[in-house]
Structure 1
């Protein structure tokens, strides 16, 4: 029998002060990798941002130094340096050494803030090899240094975390290191993250820092936020300042053409919250407190189907949403359902009900609320938990959005009609996609095919190796039928140039014969409901003529895929065939058979002819120039364009979705002027000899 181990009070560990933070850092910052390192930086930045949010700071500067330290400076009021009566310590020491201490617990110093648990600065201090805090206040410059959370003094005049350190005596005063101009205030925090705590590969993310700084500048109009990076050979500096607030933020986030202008919804509400309050006797008791909740939302709809919704509480991002976002989405759906039902006949909406995704399609929105002492889930503040926020946000949005949608003003009425038609079109598209999904499965012996009659199907039932060739015209179809491998290659002919879906509505796209046939054949739905796993073919190959019309048709097809079947492109399953332009028959003397060579450009043809001349070889004239796929016979088409052993395919990729969105909007969108400028600018580099006329 195993011996029972002893377990009594002497085996219990008591972690005091900041020891708990160093022992279990993940509990406070989430992780000890780059994400946790960035979270520490946000804690310091957010303290400065709270000063700006309260109206006391107008500039914040973040500096990344070459010695792996980071510095945050603001022109706020400065951390208090006088003695805190309960602890007998200076306010500066209390803020950086005591957990759950600060000016954000209802003492009247702040109303709505991002940092509210009082552990941010002290946690960063505990996880830093060195932290220097410099406060300008009362005509003096005060300074205090810490090593791994312990106050003291570092030897030497150069800031170095490895310098000799002397712990301070208990209750030591803050050191005065200089004088300040009259009225000048502010705080500078510089710290070196403790590499014994963080993983060796933990690094500050430059892009994330810039995005967060830009976001903060959008959320606090007029705030000037500077990010300096002194680590590389060439120092860099970015300055962010936006006076338009979240309206500018929505404009920045929007990538597609607008259906509506940017609408602003603002309001407030109050609620009663029961919270623990510490009385004068030091005891805690429950008390009802009246809270205010300010709501500020900017939103607009675009022609796309992707939605971008950012939510914030006291300018702190809540990427996983919370009660405020729930209230916003509920109000959107409820208001649009009411309005569509009231105008069902005019909008031809039928009896179907809108779903949330129908309303969110093409929406770009920034949802912000300001609440004193909001309830978050965890120190990372990713989800708002204050239940009253849902109802307040819902009421504000429902009331003002209904007024906007039912407005009789000319401009408002046009935009309202446009967005209502878009939402109804999204609903019809979703219903059509669901019906397609249910009925368009690969045929087998027990079920009939509902595929278009012009589809030339392949025999294979497996998706992985099958290919769908979209061919231009019936003449090319006839040749492709003979050239294909019927085991795994299917053919779908299209007549001429399909609809430009960048300009058209969803309903116009679905009613277009060629577009509808293509969606039906691929069988995975469209837009937001597109299901890549349901696609009936492993590859889709666009096989158009090697001329201007063929290039235009290919562009129209790619626009359809990008707009409504983007996951196919993102998965690398859409290709463009590369048919040859020329066929050169090289004459060999004697009994040796003539050799056929294909070229794919004028440059390649000239290079081949020069090589043949240098070798003393002749070729048949005239050289055959293919104007279209129909001019090839089946053997030639198979060898050059369809046979995997010899063909070349161009894979269509989207490395940057936002950049691609802008290009499609420029080249295929409804606004003509930017496209005209693009063509005129590009014409300067055009070689007239390359024009095939």
Structure 2
């Protein structure tokens, strides 16, 4: 090692705070300065109205990719006042100029769209301009920002006939360069949120030239069953005509469980899992429990119906999963996410609860639908063994 003294001491430490920190190190707050980061800007804004819909205070959320390359997110709620109210929490101006230190996983009814949980202030800081509009108590209020700094005070523009909050922003090209919002990627996330939360109503519209305007509404009263049907649309002919599904509340894991599944003629397995509406691509205890319960139910039924003899080994998890499309969603009051991106659920109590629920409900369905059950077990037994 070199013996040269560089004179490094506390005077060389650079402390960045507030807007300066966000703009200096945007990747720490939104993950990247590419498409992924742009989408985090949208989710930072949409997080609040989505949760307001689930709480019954907002009817719907409209997200629009505007012709100028920006985004407009509007809701039809009562409208957030710019200034703080005595019992209403921080006002809109405070939310736009402060940065959360990060959020802890919320209770089971909360939805976290943004991965980092930093809030509106990050989107404002990383936007070349942002306009906040509130329609409330008969008046339309507007405030303008540039790179996170207010350039106008909240101003009463004109009378309002309705109510709601609208945030329109243009991502700063000095930070994000030529990256563009992806309608497909945003639609995927909003669609899965609507599948997982039946009361949710979101519309995504793309008004950017030169393409014609397109719009999709995401609202699925059928929940996980609708999700499985959507995933299975290109999976070949189904082995049984009905999507199996159930929901259960279990105080032992302080949460709820929703499962839906369907076997089809494809050899591909399509199983997706979520915890508090957050994708868990790495699986976790809910997925281990799901596979435990699935194997127990199918093997028990096959032996009781003598579709497997005493000498036959149990059907393996791989064989049971071939051609299976399933959605596993848990919502917990105290989720424990593991991994650098929180893509794995770690709650130990979840595994036995999910396994028991899947085994009981699937066993009952197999027993009461003998023709479909026979087709399922026959399909599994007929799969190739790798």
TM-score scaled by length of structure 2: 0.85
1:403 Cα offset (Å)? 1.9
Query: Where does 1:315-334 land on structure 2 (aligned, <5 Å)?
Result: 315-334=277-296
The aligned residue for residue 347 of structure 1 is 308
User: Which residue among 194, 200, 205 is the counterpart of 1:228?
Assistant: 205
1:9 Cα offset (Å)? 2.0
The aligned residue for residue 292 of structure 1 is 254
Listed one character per residue, the Cα deviations across residues 370-406 of structure 1 (whole Å, up to 9, x for unaligned) are 234534347955433444433332232222112222x
User: Which residue among 256, 265, 268 is the counterpart of 2:249?
Assistant: 268
Q: Does structure 1 residue 368 correspond to structure 2 residue 329?
A: yes
1-structure distance, mates of 2:55, 2:124: 24
> Is the 2:103–2:118 contact (alpha carbons within 8 Å) kept by the matching residues of 1?
no
> Is the 1:112–1:372 contact (alpha carbons within 8 Å) kept by the matching residues of 2?
no
2-structure distance, mates of 1:417, 1:201: 55
1:220 Cα offset (Å)? 3.5
Q: Decide whether aligned partners of structure 1 residues 151 and 187 sit closer, same or farther in structure 2, where only a CA change above 3 A counts.
A: same
Q: Does structure 1 residue 188 correspond to structure 2 residue 166?
A: yes
1:66 Cα offset (Å)? 2.0
Runs of 4+ in 1 over 6 A off after TM superposition: 101-106
1-structure distance, mates of 2:163, 2:101: 22
1:263 Cα offset (Å)? 0.7
- Secondary structure at the aligned position of 1:209 is classed as helix
1:76 Cα offset (Å)? 3.1
1:142 Cα offset (Å)? 3.2
The aligned residue for residue 350 of structure 2 is 389
Query: Where does 1:261-660 land on structure 2 (aligned, <5 Å)?
Result: 261-271=242-252, 292-343=254-305, 345-348=306-309, 350-372=311-333, 374-377=335-338, 381-405=342-366, 407=367, 409=368, 412-426=369-383, 429-430=384-385, 529=386
Listed one character per residue, the Cα deviations across residues 606-656 of structure 1 (whole Å, up to 9, x for unaligned) are xxxxxxxxxxxxxxxxxxxxxxxxxxxxxxxxxxxxxxxxxxxxxxxxxxx
User: Which residue among 215, 239, 243 is the counterpart of 1:238?
Assistant: 215
The aligned residue for residue 144 of structure 1 is 143
- Secondary structure at the aligned position of 2:382 is classed as helix
1-structure distance, mates of 2:266, 2:321: 10
> Is the 1:340–1:349 contact (alpha carbons within 8 Å) kept by the matching residues of 2?
no
Listed one character per residue, the Cα deviations across residues 562-593 of structure 1 (whole Å, up to 9, x for unaligned) are xxxxxxxxxxxxxxxxxxxxxxxxxxxxxxxx
Across the aligned residues of Structure 1 and Structure 2, the Cα RMSD in angstroms comes to 3.1
User: How many residues are aligned here?
Assistant: 379
Q: Decide whether aligned partners of structure 1 residues 425 and 216 sit closer, same or farther in structure 2, where only a CA change above 3 A counts.
A: same
1:84 Cα offset (Å)? 6.3
2-structure distance, mates of 1:130, 1:379: 32
Gaps of 5+ in 2: none
Q: Decide whether aligned partners of structure 1 residues 397 and 216 sit closer, same or farther in structure 2, where only a CA change above 3 A counts.
A: same
> Is the 1:268–1:392 contact (alpha carbons within 8 Å) kept by the matching residues of 2?
no
2-structure distance, mates of 1:349, 1:78: 66
Query: Where does 1:83-102 land on structure 2 (aligned, <5 Å)?
Result: 83=84, 91-100=91-100
> Is the 1:262–1:299 contact (alpha carbons within 8 Å) kept by the matching residues of 2?
yes
- Secondary structure at the aligned position of 2:151 is classed as strand
Q: Decide whether aligned partners of structure 1 residues 134 and 377 sit closer, same or farther in structure 2, where only a CA change above 3 A counts.
A: farther
The aligned residue for residue 110 of structure 2 is 112
The aligned residue for residue 130 of structure 1 is 129
Q: Decide whether aligned partners of structure 1 residues 24 and 102 sit closer, same or farther in structure 2, where only a CA change above 3 A counts.
A: closer
User: Which residue among 228, 233, 257 is the counterpart of 2:237?
Assistant: 257
> Is the 1:311–1:319 contact (alpha carbons within 8 Å) kept by the matching residues of 2?
yes
1:293 Cα offset (Å)? 0.9
Q: Decide whether aligned partners of structure 1 residues 319 and 417 sit closer, same or farther in structure 2, where only a CA change above 3 A counts.
A: same
2-structure distance, mates of 1:375, 1:115: 17
The aligned residue for residue 30 of structure 2 is 29
2-structure distance, mates of 1:252, 1:334: 27
Q: Decide whether aligned partners of structure 1 residues 90 and 293 sit closer, same or farther in structure 2, where only a CA change above 3 A counts.
A: closer
- Secondary structure at the aligned position of 1:18 is classed as helix
1-structure distance, mates of 2:19, 2:336: 24
Q: Decide whether aligned partners of structure 1 residues 114 and 90 sit closer, same or farther in structure 2, where only a CA change above 3 A counts.
A: closer
Gaps of 5+ in 1: 154-167, 169-173, 272-290, 431-528, 530-693
1-structure distance, mates of 2:352, 2:103: 29
2-structure distance, mates of 1:104, 1:94: 20
- Secondary structure at the aligned position of 1:215 is classed as helix
